[in-house]
């Protein structure tokens, strides 16, 4: 093991620190979603990532810390966008449409359907509190935008987050999903769900939102 040659590094990062971290996350993501979290050892992750097992522990406290980092990556970019959109001046329906479109894109991005990890029994544990806190903040942003955009009849944040996250199972059912089509369909669907009229939805699609990614 000690004499295993280092893996060629694509970037100019001299010590390969960033690459190692990324390689470990990518390898773990693939194994967690195919073999399963419980059945995957840090040894297996090291083998798949082409790094030594000790390198993993240099970057992560253990398997739970790797899973936490993967889970945070499925929420953090959407929450940052939601925070930015909360201060926007565009109509609320246009900002909600933009957020849903980006969030669905994030959940469908990458080679691995990381959202399936949400339901792992282990993820209920205290060590994943940061993930649950971020997701709760995202749900709260959806509630605010849903109330501002729709008929405001009742709190629909959980329904909206549910429809957004339904792309996890959908991607699982249909591996070659047309992501762009699903992004538009879910974003339109969310606006109907919160009580927007067809005219309001057409307008929301047409208004450019400065922070859209």
Nearer to a second copy, 181 or 206 (CB): 181
What is the smallest separation between the CB atom of 125 and a second copy, expressed in angstroms? 12
φ and ψ at residue 212, rounded to 5 degrees: -55, 140
Nearer to a second copy, 53 or 166 (CB): 166
In SS3 terms, 34-80 reads as HCCCCCCCHHHHHHHHCCCHHHHHHHCCCHHHHHHHHHHHCCHHHHH
How far is Cα 84 from Cα 196, in angstroms, rounded to an integer? 22
What is the smallest separation between the CB atom of 97 and a second copy, expressed in angstroms? 15
Judge whether 174 and 186 are in contact, CB under 8 Å.
Answer: no
What is the smallest separation between the CB atom of 139 and a second copy, expressed in angstroms? 9
What is the smallest separation between the CB atom of 160 and a second copy, expressed in angstroms? 9
What is the smallest separation between the CB atom of 80 and a second copy, expressed in angstroms? 21
Nearer to a second copy, 86 or 112 (CB): 112
Alpha helices in the chain (DSSP H): 17-34, 42-49, 53-59, 63-73, 76-86, 92-107, 129-149, 157-173, 179-193, 198-206
How far is Cα 137 from Cα 189, in angstroms, rounded to an integer? 22
Nearer to a second copy, 25 or 168 (CB): 168
Nearer to a second copy, 19 or 155 (CB): 155
Enumerate binding residues for a second copy (CB under 8 A). 33-39, 116, 118-122, 124, 132, 151, 154, 156, 158-159, 161-163, 165-170, 172-173, 185-186, 189, 192-195, 198
């Amino acid at each position: 093991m000690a004499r295993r040659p280092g893996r060629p590094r694509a970037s100019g990062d001299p010590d390969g620190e960033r690459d190692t971290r990324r390689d470990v996350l990518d390898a773990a993501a693939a194994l967690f979603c195919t073999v399963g979290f419980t059945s995957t050892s840090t040894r297996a992750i090291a083998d798949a990532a082409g790094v030594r097992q000790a390198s993993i522990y240099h970057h992560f406290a253990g398997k739970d810390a790797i899973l936490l980092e993967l889970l945070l990556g499925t929420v953090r970019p959407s929450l940052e966008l939601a925070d930015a959109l909360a201060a926007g001046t565009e109509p609320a329906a246009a900002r909600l449409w933009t957020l849903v479109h980006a969030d669905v894109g994030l959940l469908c991005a990458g080679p691995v359907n990381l959202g399936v990890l949400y339901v792992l029994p282990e993820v209920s544990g205290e060590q994943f509190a940061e993930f649950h806190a971020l997701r709760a903040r995202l749900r709260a942003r959806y509630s605010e935008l849903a109330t501002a955009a729709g008929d405001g009849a009742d709190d629909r944040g959980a329904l909206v987050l549910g429809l957004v996250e339904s792309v996890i199972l959908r991607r699982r059912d249909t591996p070659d999903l047309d992501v762009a089509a699903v992004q538009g369909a879910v974003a339109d669907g969310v606006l109907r769900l919160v009580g927007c009229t067809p005219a309001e939805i057409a307008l929301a699609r047409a208004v450019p939102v400065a922070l859209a990614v």
